[in-house]
Amino acid sequence: MNVFLFCLTPQRRNGVVLGFPLLSRLSHKRLMATFQVEAERGEQDLYRCITLSPRGAAVSNFGELIVRVPPTPIAPPQLLRAGPTYLIIQLNTNSIVGDGPVIRREIQYRASQSTWLETHGVGSLTYKVWHLEPDTEYHISVLLTRPGEGGTGAPGPPLISRTKCAEPMRALRGLTATEIQPRQLSLQWEPLGYNLTRCHTYTLSLCYRYSMPTGGSGGNNATVRECLSVERNTSHFTLRDLPPFRSVHVRLALSNPEGKKESREVTFQTEEDIPGGIAPESLTFTPLDDMIFLKWEEPVEPNGLITQYEISYQSIESSDPGINVPGPRRTVSKLRNETYHMFSGLHPGTTYLVSVRARTTKGFGQTALTEITTNISAPVFDYEDVPSPLSESESTITVLLRPALGRGAPVSAYQVVVVEEDGSRQVKRRELGSSDCFPSPSSHTEAQAKRAPHYYTAELAPSSLPEATPFTVGDNHTYNGYWNSPLDPTKNYLIYFQATSNFRGETRINCIRIARKAACKDSKRALEVSQHAEDMGLILGACAGGLVVLILLLGAIVIIVKKGRDLYPYPYYPKKVAINKAAMSYRQEKNRKLSSLDCSMTEQSTLQQDASLAHSFLDAHGCNARNDQRSSVNESSSLLGGSPHRHCRRKSSPYHTGQLHPAVRVADLLQHINQMKTAEGYGFKQEYESFFDGWDVKKKDKTKGRTLESSVLLCLADDRHRVKMHSLLADPSSDYVNANYIDGRYLQQPLSGLALWLL
């Protein structure tokens, strides 16, 4: 059965017919028709349904339609706080549009650039939206629901808000160099993404550093640091204007408003380049006549390892007309550690253009240039030896002057120098090429006033001496202001020829002796006689003065000795006493016994006074020698040692020998001496002969040229200077007495008048 159903609103004049119902069969007898009614608030009305079929129609009763609008917020949610991954909002549902009551609230949000939508139920007026993406814009709306089916209203106005940026996830990796050149580096790294930056606003910086020498003498380095900004979404960069052969330290820095991440530092080294130029002010040099010592410093920018230095030089100018300029260019190579060079074999007075440059494996660098001028040298003479004079007179001498050869500069002037040679002043000989010349000009008059040893007798211009030319010294003419005065016939002269070169304030002099003029013989003989007389007068005067001083000195010594005897009249000073005949006979007999002694006396006496003095002394002491000459021996010599050259054999003594006599005490010495003096024929000599046979008499060596007093007969034991005495308290060393002998050379009076004992 076909049924047509529709509803209409009868209260309206033109009721709306709602067609196309949604039919659902409940049973074979019942159908349910559902109509979608679009109604708004205020559109309440009565509705009824009409059923049409082929058999007829049916109309239902009227039903009242009540319209309710679902609630919707008027204002969007309010943002309380935003974070990198969350947003805290307030629902702001106090004002709504629609009918209440609100029984449920929901949050609906999505990213602005995404269609994905998510809804969360909210149980409070504030809500924290979690698990959001950093630096992302979100749309957040509120949904309200009233009771009943279809009670959920439309979403309210959205809150559009952005989360904050988060700190970068990590530092960039994979920093490598794709190309390395002397002055630039091409670098690359991993691509950037949101997962690393975690922010759409970020900066990528490439930072690098390297060290550069400061150029000071201390060798300090300055560090250069710089950071360059890299474009976004770029994973490569090229560093330019870097120093060659330097270690460059590079790192990447990724930063956003919330933080910064830096990569580890990677070191790269640029390649070598040609070296920089050597600073011209570092070139220092010392010029000589034919050599130049040059020194330089390493380039400020070596740009690598210096392998060698190249020095080139070429003569470009010379004051010597005999040198061809410009000369050939020469090149010298030096090792990397040799920053100096000695140029040799150069021309004097010549300017050289010198260039220095350094080299690395990449090639040569810039060249440093300088001009160096060598010093001029002294002129050179063409004399192999001292030439012979051409002629000579009493007051003149003619010599041959040969032109000198200039070295580095032409000869500017010649001088003929006369040097006076006498006995009181030794004139140093000046050989060829010696630097000891005569730079100070002095005329004959000035030399006499200053008593100078030399003077210029002539000055000649180089043009006046084109070849070897004779010149007469002492011709009484004037040469360029210098008087060529005649020579003194009584004096000896040395003639020197001197050449001078001047160039740029520099002067070089060379001189050579070309002649020697001796004084005339007659004048010389008279001069020698006068000088000999003067010398003899000086010698005689000196001898007379010395003799007077010697006489005064001897007189003073005699006076002092006599005063000493008068002031100290000790009994042990020997005095002259009369010797009786018995004593004399005894002494003569003793002399005969001693004549067998093997003692040799001084064979020669130079003065008669010395001989008479010796005879008187021998007569007083009774000692006879083999040659019938007397030798003086003091009686005290029995206690003293003598010269160890020869031995004297002693005859038998009338005194008891071998008998030990105790030593005399010092306090009893004067009394003992007086007793010996008063005793007849007894003294130190007799006391000595009573000693053991181990004592011998010895004498000093004969010395040629000595007087009789200087050779005295001395007697001593085998043990030199020893006197045998009793040992005290069993001390074996107590039997020694130190003694010495008296040498007659130092006595100022006859030995017979002095007696001295030294203990």
What confidence tens digit (pLDDT) does each residue in 382-420 have? 887 777 888 999 899 999 999 999 888 889 999 999 999
pLDDT tens sequence across 116-156: 999 999 999 999 999 999 999 999 999 999 998 888 999 99
Section 342-371 average pLDDT = 94
Section 57-76 average pLDDT = 86
pLDDT at residue 369 in the model: 94
pLDDT over threshold 70, residue 662: no
Classify residue 553 as left (phi > 0), alpha (psi -120 to 50) or beta.
alpha
- Token couple for 41: 């608030």
Q: What is the Cα 251 distance to its own chain's centre?
A: 41
Section 425-435 average pLDDT = 43
Task: Using pLDDT thresholds of 50, 70 and 90, give the confidence band for residue 746.
Answer: very low
- Of the chain, the percentage scoring pLDDT greater than 90 comes to 44
pLDDT over threshold 80, residue 199: yes
pLDDT at residue 287 in the model: 93
37, 49 Cβ separation under 8 angstroms: no
Distance between CA atoms of residues 132 and 121, nearest Å: 17
3-state secondary structure 554-581: HHHHHHHHHHHHHHCCCCCCCCCCCCCH
pLDDT over threshold 70, residue 609: no
pLDDT over threshold 80, residue 256: yes
Phi, psi values for residue 637, rounded to 5°: -70, -10
pLDDT at residue 387 in the model: 76
Task: Using pLDDT thresholds of 50, 70 and 90, give the confidence band for residue 461.
Answer: very high
Bridge partner residues of 507 (DSSP): 502
Distance between CA atoms of residues 677 and 670, nearest Å: 11
Task: Using pLDDT thresholds of 50, 70 and 90, give the confidence band for residue 429.
Answer: very low
Section 246-267 average pLDDT = 95
Torsion of CA 623, 626, 630, 633, to 10 degrees: -50
pLDDT at residue 705 in the model: 39
pLDDT at residue 66 in the model: 78
Distance between CA atoms of residues 473 and 393, nearest Å: 10
Section 727-739 average pLDDT = 49
pLDDT at residue 698 in the model: 40
- Token couple for 504: 């740029």
pLDDT at residue 684 in the model: 65
Distance between CA atoms of residues 507 and 655, nearest Å: 99
pLDDT over threshold 90, residue 531: no
Stronger pLDDT, 334 or 582, i.e. the higher one: 334
Q: Which helix (H) or strand (E) holds 608?
A: helix 608-621
Which of 428-437, 513-522, 645-654 has the weakest average pLDDT? 645-654
- Token couple for 613: 């003095």
pLDDT at residue 12 in the model: 46
Distance between CA atoms of residues 492 and 485, nearest Å: 15
What is the residue whose two structure tokens read 């309206």? 12
What is the residue whose two structure tokens read 């810039």? 366
Helix (H, G, I), strand (E, B) or coil at 142: strand
Distance between CA atoms of residues 423 and 590, nearest Å: 67
Q: Could you count the other beta carbons within 10 Å of the beta carbon of residue 50?
A: 14
Task: Using pLDDT thresholds of 50, 70 and 90, give the confidence band for residue 534.
Answer: low
Section 647-659 average pLDDT = 41
pLDDT over threshold 80, residue 666: no
376, 407 Cβ separation under 8 angstroms: yes
97, 71 Cβ separation under 8 angstroms: yes
DSSP 729: T
pLDDT at residue 509 in the model: 93
AA letter at 131: H
- Token couple for 599: 């003692």
pLDDT tens sequence across 204-226: 999 999 998 776 555 678 899 99
- Token couple for 555: 């007189």
AA letter at 506: E
Which of 192-206, 358-372, 455-469, 735-749 has the weakest average pLDDT? 735-749
pLDDT over threshold 90, residue 573: no
pLDDT at residue 564 in the model: 64
Section 185-207 average pLDDT = 94
pLDDT tens sequence across 321-339: 888 889 999 999 999 999 9
Phi, psi values for residue 66, rounded to 5°: -105, 125
192-206, 593-607, 736-750, range with greatest mean pLDDT: 192-206
DSSP 749: S
- Of the chain, the percentage scoring pLDDT greater than 70 comes to 68
Stronger pLDDT, 582 or 129, i.e. the higher one: 129
Helix (H, G, I), strand (E, B) or coil at 733: helix
Stronger pLDDT, 569 or 267, i.e. the higher one: 267
Phi, psi values for residue 158, rounded to 5°: -80, 150
Helix (H, G, I), strand (E, B) or coil at 295: strand
Distance between CA atoms of residues 572 and 666, nearest Å: 13
Distance between CA atoms of residues 96 and 122, nearest Å: 17
- Token couple for 445: 């008059």
Phi, psi values for residue 341, rounded to 5°: -160, 140
- Token couple for 514: 């070309």
Q: What is the mean pLDDT of the chain?
A: 76
Section 185-206 average pLDDT = 94
* Range list of β-strands (E), 231-290: 236-239, 247-256, 259-262, 266-269, 284-287
pLDDT at residue 659 in the model: 47
pLDDT over threshold 50, residue 560: yes
pLDDT tens sequence across 373-391: 999 999 999 887 777 888 9
Task: Using pLDDT thresholds of 50, 70 and 90, give the confidence band for residue 583.
Answer: very low
Distance between CA atoms of residues 697 and 684, nearest Å: 15
754, 747 Cβ separation under 8 angstroms: yes
